[in-house]
Structure 1
Amino acid sequence: MRIEEIDKNFVPASIGDLQLHYLEVGAGSLMPRGLAWYEQDKQFCRLPQAALSSLSEGVQGLAWHTAGAQLRFKSDCLHLALQVELRGPSNMPHMPASGQSGFDLYLGSGRDKQYVKTAIPPYGADKFEQLLFSQSQAEMQEFTLNFPLYNGVKQLRLGFSPGAELCAASPQAVKNPVLFYGSSITQGGCASRPGNAYPQLLAQQLDFQCLNLGFSGNAKGEPRMAELIAGLDLAALVLDYDHNAPTPEHLEQTHYPFYSLIRARQPQLPIIMMSMPDVDLKLEAANVRRYIIEQSYKKAVAEGDKNVYMIDGFKLFGKSYRDACTVDGVHPNDLGFQRMAECLQPCLARVLRVEA
């Protein structure tokens, strides 16, 4: 028996006989954000097409996952629907389809945004259409739609009620984007929906554009990746790839050089170094890795860097119910991500010069 047959709360909103005008995402007021090279390549890809062949096979594939991508626009539409073709069906046993392949919608501007709904693909589907929003009277609203964390998008269209106005969203408080480079945790595994991954939580709380370069199992501090990051005009960089360094030796050999390559190109860029959050089941190993990152930080400070900061991963999950912060002892759930965002927010707000 299908759950929606016995509990109507699980039935997706029906489009039924609604008359909708569909627009292709990728132009005008429907230009995606959070994809640094979209304007150049016109692809739902987190890395530039010309650079993919110079990166690992894992990064080449994961680059098509749309973590951090979003749409922001204003409209007075009575109805808003989504029509999407994904790169594949949901297939992760420890992450809900709503986070892996869903789109979540918020209303409001600046920091005053309210979650409305998540569009979730049916079981086994890679194409679906869903009604996201309805209102009884035409009123101009600001919409933010977050893309899937662990799936890619081949085609995306939004359906608006006929005659609806569509225009650009309000400018964000922070002009340039904040980039997060790191592991599966950075990418958003295993949030229940895209807006609950810690980079997106921070982007909403502090009102900035997020560039998520989390590459599950494949962020290893490669010089080529540092070069790509160094070429972007950023407000801040969060360096969070501890988890993907296969050994402490690899972390030690790559961490400071990765920072140093970026710092040479961008002397004033605020850089926040982080160690891994899931430490309780591997205290000794986590201590070793934290020490390596701390040494990178101290060396940078000793060389006169006044724009480098460190977040101790041992503090990211807080003090109480730490074992309730992950789905599998490693990947945060929504509670874990919320605590990570709360821990990181004061430092990030300070470097962005906005109120925490």
Structure 2
Amino acid sequence: MRIEDIDKNFASESIDGVDLFFLDAFTAPMELGGFPFWAHDRVYCRLPVSSLPEQSAGVRGLAWHCSGGQVRFRTDSSALAVRVELSSVAHMNHMPSSGHSGVDMYIGAGAAKHYAKTAMPVAGQSRYCALLAKGVAGGERDVTLNFPLYNGVKRLEVGFSPQSRVSAPTPFKVGKPVLFYGSSITQGGCASRPGNCYCHHLGRRLDAPIINFGFSGNARGELPMAAIIASLDLSALVLDYDHNAPNVDHLVATHQSFFRTIRERRPDLPVVLVTRPDVDLAPQESERRRAVVRQTYDEACAAGDSRVYFVDGFTLFGRSDRDACTVDGCHPNDLGFVRMADGIEPALRAALGAS
């Protein structure tokens, strides 16, 4: 009996005249990343499903957005494709569908990964299928597919040439994930494609797995979220929720307690504290917010904490052409995200002990 008769995933399908068979993104030996509770819940949710009732309504919805999700593998397939079923038909005035609902592909291992192509939905559609490569020769290579930043995924399948080999990806240099907790900027608004989010930039540069806990407008330092973060075995935490605090008083009331809750559970976890980058719209308020985050850092250092680092958001968009770094004065474009990665990288590299 043919394998196609036993498992429908191996049935060939033709896209643009190229024959392919499809596998779900979670199929071994492919490796799924960015969904730390997948093994238990078996859904593309960034938080444990059992924890959702205790979260705010905004976080409950945004937890299903797949920012930071990845599927990685090695293959000698001459063609590659994706077939995606999204949770919704998304539309954002200031962010292209290639970023909020697209999947982009990188080729290569370690810090040598390079961008290849992006798949994205047609306007008004929640399903799409796209050929990402064809006629590729040269043997096996590592492939990384990044999930959408601002949409959920019900199903993502990867298409391969018939008779091709699929094997486990090259391991990351950093064994445990770096978790980023923060705002819409952390989630990836408004990158033109998933791999341009600053968290993905840093993951590639440091060859580290990432978990993105950016919750647009809703990550506000809630203690149940601190408990979830503290439950995970991480290599580092980047704490970047300053922007989501509705006012300075809220930041004062939550920032240090959020940090301390995690520190009590994870005394050796490196924590990078970051202040908001979009300071030009409200420089005085941004200075007050920066002072709150700096106080958390200073008091931790005074108490003997040598695993805490501080990044000043006033430096993140650079000195020149700062007004070219956002789409609306707040959310970074691709240039803004590159500069954010440039600004955070030294502190995160030090936190990881990376050369």
Normalised by the shorter chain, which TM-score bucket? over 0.9
Q: Match of 1:29, SS?
A: coil
Q: Distance in 2 between matches of 1:325 and 1:51?
A: 36
Q: Which residue of 1 aligns with 2:261?
A: 261
Whichever residue aligns with residue 349 of structure 1, its letter is R
1:112-145 deviations in Å (ceiling 9; x for gaps): 0110000011111100110011234361111000
Aligned to 2:180: 180
Say which SS state the counterpart of residue 28 (structure 1) adopts: coil
How far the C-alpha of 1:310 sits from its partner, in A, is 0.7
Give the length in aligned residue pairs.
342
- CA deviations 1:269-319 (Å, max 9, x no partner) are 000111100001211110110011111111111111110111000001010
1:273–1:293 Cα contact (<8 Å) kept: yes
Q: Which amino acid in the other structure matches residue 346 of structure 1?
A: P
Distance in structure 2 (CA, Å) of the matches to 1:305 and 1:29: 40
The answer to whether the 8 Å contact 1:99/1:150 transfers is yes
Separation in 1 of the partners of 2:176 and 2:23? 27
Which residue pairs with 2:5 in the alignment?
A: none
Identity %: 51
The one-letter code sitting in structure 2 at the alignment partner of 1:296 is T
**1:125 match:** 125
Partner of 1:10: none
Q: Which moved more, 1:251-260 or 1:133-142?
A: 133-142
Is the partner of 1:341 in helix, strand or coil? helix
Q: Corresponding residue for 2:236?
A: 236
2:202 alignment counterpart: 202
Whole-angstrom CA distance in 2 between matches of 1:247 and 1:46: 26
**Match of 2:139?**
139
Letter in 2 for 1:310: F
- Is the CA contact 2:109–2:170 (under 8 Å) kept in the aligned structure 1? yes
8 Å contact from structure 1 (residues 270, 307) kept in 2? yes
- Matches of 1:288 and 1:140, distance apart in 2: 52
Per-residue CA deviation, residues 242-280 of structure 1 (Å, 9 max, x unaligned), is 011111000000000000000000101000111100001
Rounded to whole Å, the distance in 2 between the matches of 1:308 and 1:354 is 15
Report the Cα distance in structure 1 between the residues aligned to 2:196 and 2:138, rounded to whole angstroms.
29
**Whole-angstrom CA distance in 1 between matches of 2:163 and 2:306:** 53
Aligned equivalent of 2:42: 42
Contact kept? 2:22, 2:159, Cα under 8 Å: yes
Alpha-carbon contact 1:26-1:42 (below 8 Å) kept:
no
Please identify, of 260-269 and 127-136, the stretch whose mean Cα deviation from structure 2 is larger. 127-136
Query: Residue deviations 1:298-344, cap 9 Å, x none?
Result: 11111111101110000010100001100001000000000000011
Whether contact under 8 Å (1:76, 1:166) holds in the other structure is: yes
**Unmatched 5+ residue regions in structure 2?**
1-13
Counterpart contact for 1:77–1:138, Cα < 8 Å = no
**TM-score, structure 1 length as denominator?**
0.94
Q: Residue 317 of structure 2 corresponds to which residue in structure 1?
A: 317
SS at structure 2 position matched to 1:32: strand
What is the CA–CA distance in structure 1 between the aligned matches of 2:159 and 2:204, rounded to whole Å?
25
The answer for unaligned runs of 5 or more in structure 1 is 1-13
Q: Distance in 1 between matches of 2:321 and 2:19?
A: 49
Q: Say whether residues 1:247 and 2:243 are aligned partners.
A: no
